Amino acid sequence: MNLPMVKYLLCAGGVFGLLIQAAMAQTAVKERTSHDTARRKAALEKSAPQSSDAQGNIVRNVAGQKVASDNRAVQSGRSKAHIIQSAAIQKTVTQYNTTQATTIITGKITDRSIQKVSFAYWTDPGITSAVTQDTILPTDSFYFRIPLPVGKAVFFYTDAGNGYHFYGLIRGGDSLRLWMQGDSIHFSGNGAALSRAIYAARQEQGRVVVPLNADAKQLAEVYRQQLQTGSKVLAFYRDSMPAAEWQLIRAHALGEPAANLVSTLWKLSPAPDSTLEERQVLFYKNNILPALSSFTSSDTTYMAIRYLSYLLQKAEADYFIEHRYECNNRAIYEWVKTHYSGRLRDRLLAHSLTMGFAAGNQQEEQEWCVKDYLSLVQDETCKQAIAKLYGRSRKGIGKGNVAPAFSFPDQNGKQVSLQQFSGKVVLLHFYNGADSLLPALPEIQNCFDEAGVSFVNICCNGSAVKGLLGCMLQLDEQHRDVLTQYNISKYPSYIIVGKNGKVYATRPPDPAADHGTALTNIIYEALLQ
């Protein structure tokens, strides 16, 4: 190998450079060994007695044995060095492959005009924020590439607008292709099985219709059927993927209907022939628990945020059934800490505290829980995330503070102020013009009467997103201090202002993670104040 080529490979770095260095090192060892052997042999022969031929032969024989012994020692040392060097190279190759693993998600849309596709994925759902990407469609196709360790499974969300959005699961190093056509999404690639199973379960669950004006018992039956339907679909895919991943997608697909089923406990109305508490206990035992009997917890399922939300709702219900009165946030925290262990406990408590920061829980109560959590948590990711949120919560606005006033023009040039929404609950939606329409937002708005809740969309950069409902405002340079007053550091961000003009919640949960369920619940709570 000529010197310029060697220099090129060495400068290129990486594994190839290490391999070349190893080869050159081995060649140098061989040359040094050969030279040292010849030098020792010559020195011994020169110093040996020469009185007789026999004696000389004996001395030379001894010298030869000494040289052979030295040679074996050198060879042994060289072998050990080679083994160590080979192990180091193998370790480096493994690390190189792990850090450089990429996951490819591509797609094609054939029957609708789509301008942009947004993509997000969560490495730690419920704990850290999503990593987001956008791509402009040059034709009818899209392409996303994300770095992930080989085999690591993460949830992702892709949104192409016009009804094309999907929440799935993919492993690091896999590839996935989505073909969106008509009212269906088709999957291919070596990562297709996971997302196909989630999609199939979701489609079948969606066919179980929720009746209008349904009472608690009717709703419980609907959610029980959704659990049963989803379980049957996922059972079909059980042998096509590793058990841990099957458990994870099962927790994801069944988590939402399970949480909805538990929530029916609070929708019973009082009856004249018994107390509400007695009826709730019977309803929980007869209509809710039997449908949840096959839904078990494990350290595998903590990555599914919908499953974590279900466990928190169930903790609240279990506490009520045992004590016969509703609990506060600290009581839920203590219940979870007592009844769970390991990583699932750490993740579940972290998710609960994250929700507490978003909803603006009572400050002293939240602070006590945070300090206790930071003293016992073992999961370093959770610890850092909660410590960061705690530090941020001590700055800027918080629940109970008067919402900072603002006034600037809407898209028609009409002046709009926060004051004119007095008496209503207001969702302030701060977003970037490059963001795509999140389907959950119109769905959330459809849950509320315009007379009670107002949606104020504030575009902070670029042009307003089409399709958003409610008041549309464009933030200009003159009014950018609003971002500082509301402590807005990323997009999209949400603030909920109560009917009294005071902040009710800061940083609510990401609506993309759970179809807006948590955000909707917080708005309902604000309406009841």
Find the helix or strand (DSSP H, E) in which 315 lies. helix 305-323
Q: Which two tokens stand for residue 114?
A: 């789509």
Closest CA to 136 of 125, 144, 146: 144
508 within some domain: yes
| CATH number reported for the structural domain that contains residue 508 in this entry | 3.40.30.10
Contact at 8 Å (CB) between 431 and 402?
A: no
Task: Give the pLDDT of residue 464.
Answer: 73
Task: Give the pLDDT of residue 48.
Answer: 42
36 within some domain: yes
281 within some domain: no
Q: Which two tokens stand for residue 36?
A: 């040292």
Closest CA to 340 of 384, 370, 373, 362: 373
452 within some domain: yes
Distance CA 51, CA 131 (A): 86
**Shared domain check, 120 and 175:** yes
Which residues touch 322 (CB under 8 Å, ≥6 apart)?
Answer: none
Which residues touch 372 (CB under 8 Å, ≥6 apart)?
Answer: 333
Task: Give the pLDDT of residue 99.
Answer: 54
Task: Give the pLDDT of residue 44.
Answer: 39
**Shared domain check, 107 and 39:** no
210 within some domain: no
**Shared domain check, 470 and 454:** yes
Closest CA to 101 of 142, 141, 153: 153
Largest CA distance in the chain: 126
Distances (CA, A) of 57 to 46, 54, 66, 68, 108: 13, 5, 14, 16, 85
Could you tell me where the beta strands, DSSP code E, fall in 125-206?
A: 131-136, 141-147, 153-161, 164-171, 175-181, 184-188
Which residues touch 195 (CB under 8 Å, ≥6 apart)?
Answer: 166, 168, 169, 170, 176, 178, 187
Contact at 8 Å (CB) between 177 and 189?
A: yes
| CATH number reported for the structural domain that contains residue 176 in this entry | 2.60.40.4150
**Shared domain check, 113 and 90:** no
**Shared domain check, 69 and 25:** yes
Q: If the chain, 529 residues long, is cut into consecutive pieces of 10 residues, what is the mean pLDDT of each piece?
A: 36 37 42 45 43 36 42 47 43 44 86 79 83 73 88 87 82 91 89 94 93 92 96 94 92 94 91 80 94 75 90 94 84 94 93 82 84 95 91 76 86 85 93 74 86 90 76 80 80 90 84 81 89
Contact at 8 Å (CB) between 188 and 157?
A: no
Contact at 8 Å (CB) between 255 and 309?
A: yes
Distance CA 524, CA 257 (A): 19
Which residues touch 330 (CB under 8 Å, ≥6 apart)?
Answer: 365, 368, 369
Q: Among 171, 190, 209, where does a domain finish?
A: 190
113 within some domain: yes
Q: Are strands 164-171 and 175-181 parallel, antiparallel or unpaired?
A: unpaired
Task: Give the pLDDT of residue 273.
Answer: 66
426 bridge partner residues: 454, 497
Distance CA 300, CA 246 (A): 10
Q: Strand, helix or coil at 508?
A: coil
CA triple 224-314-511, angle to 5 deg: 80
Q: Strand, helix or coil at 499?
A: coil
CA triple 373-486-449, angle to 5 deg: 95
**Shared domain check, 34 and 147:** no
- 444-448: which pairs have CB atoms within 8 A and are 24 or more residues apart? 444/511, 444/516, 444/519, 444/520, 444/523, 445/469, 445/470, 447/520, 447/523, 448/523, 448/527
155 within some domain: yes
270 within some domain: no
SS (H, E, C) 329-342: HHHHHHHHHHHCCH
Q: Which residue has the tokens 């919640």?
A: 505
Q: Among 190, 210, 230, where does a domain finish?
A: 190
Structural domains in the chain (count): 3
**Shared domain check, 507 and 441:** yes
Q: By residue range, what is the domain housing residue 149?
A: 101-190
Task: Give the pLDDT of residue 396.
Answer: 67
**Shared domain check, 93 and 27:** yes
Q: Among 174, 190, 206, where does a domain finish?
A: 190
Distance CA 467, CA 469 (A): 6
**Shared domain check, 66 and 33:** yes
**Shared domain check, 438 and 449:** yes
Contact at 8 Å (CB) between 336 and 342?
A: no
169 bridge partner residues: 155
**Shared domain check, 160 and 114:** yes
* Helix, strand, coil in percent for the chain, rounding step 5: 55, 20, 30
Distance CA 512, CA 510 (A): 5
Distance CA 494, CA 480 (A): 16
**Shared domain check, 523 and 420:** yes
Q: Are strands 471-474 and 453-461 parallel, antiparallel or unpaired?
A: parallel
